[in-house]
Amino acid sequence: MIEIIDVDTAADLLLRGKVVALATDTVYGVAASLAHPDAVQSLFALKERPDSKPLPVLAHSVEQIEAYGVMWPLLARRLARKFWPGALTIVVAVPERIARTVGSTTMSAGFRVPDDAQLLAVLKRCGALCVTSANIHGEPPCESASQVQSAFRDRDELAGVVDGGERHGEVSTVVEVHDDQWRIVRHGAIGEDEIAAVLDRETPGS
C-alpha cells in the first residue's frame, strides 16, 4: 500500500529526487523535481506514459520559470498576469536540457502556476515540478488519496501520497505561444474567448 505522507515529508522526498502524489487545484497529480531528470524518468515509468508525450511543469511563479533559463515572451506574460494562479497551461520555447527532461521533441514545454496554497508552498521550497494527473496513462485521473493508493498499489516508483481531500477540478486549458502567434492545444477550464480577449485577438493564430 502506498503510504500517506505529510506535506513536509513530500517536499523532502521531492528534493531527494523521489516521486510523490499530491492534490492540485484540479485533480491529484504525481510529481517529480525538474532538477532531477532520473526522477522525471521514474514518473514516466510510473504512469506508463509514452516517452513521446511530454510532461507539464508546475511552478511557483514566472520568476521561478525564468530561473531555469526559459525566455518568457510577451503573450505568455499577459496570459500569466491574467490567469495565474489558475487552470491555464502556457507552452513556450525552452532550453534543450529542459525539453529533454520533460520528454519534449519540439524544444517547448508547458508551464502552470496552480491555484492551491499548499502546493504553491511546496513549489516555493522545491522548485519547479513535473506534475501530471495521478493515473496510469489512459485511465481516469485520481480524485482522492485512496484512489491514488489503489491505482498505484505497491508501485516502487511512488514514495507516498499527501491526502488533500477530494479534488474534482476541470482540466487546464493549454495554450501554445510563439512570438506573436498563439493556438489552443487543449480546451479546458478557461474559454478560448477569454484568452482571445486578453491577447487582443478574435481568433487564435496558427
In angstroms and rounded to an integer, the radius of gyration of the C-alpha atoms of the chain is: 16
36-71: pLDDT as tens digits:
999 999 999 999 998 888 999 999 999 999 999 999
Contact 204, 183 (CB under 8 A): yes
Domains located in the chain, CATH noted:
4-198 (3.90.870.10)
Is residue 202 over pLDDT 60? no
Q: Report the Cα–Cα distance between both ends of the chain, in Å, rounded.
A: 47
Quick one: pLDDT band at residue 154, thresholds 50, 70, 90?
Answer: confident
Quick one: pLDDT band at residue 206, thresholds 50, 70, 90?
Answer: very low
Element (H, E) at 201: none
Average per-residue pLDDT for the chain: 94
| pLDDT the model gives residue 205 | 47
In this prediction, residues 189-196 reach a mean pLDDT of 95
| pLDDT the model gives residue 201 | 57
Is residue 194 over pLDDT 70? yes
Locate 144 and state its grid cell.
482522492
> What pTM was estimated for this model as a whole?
0.93
Helix ranges (DSSP H) in 86-185: 96-102, 117-126, 145-151
Helix ranges (DSSP H) in the chain: 7-15, 37-47, 62-66, 74-83, 96-102, 117-126, 145-151, 192-198
Print burial letters for 47-75: b (CB count within 10 Å at least 16), e (below 16).
Answer: bebeeeebbbbbbbbbebbeebebebbeb
**Residue located via cell numbers 513535473:** 130
Is residue 105 over pLDDT 70? yes
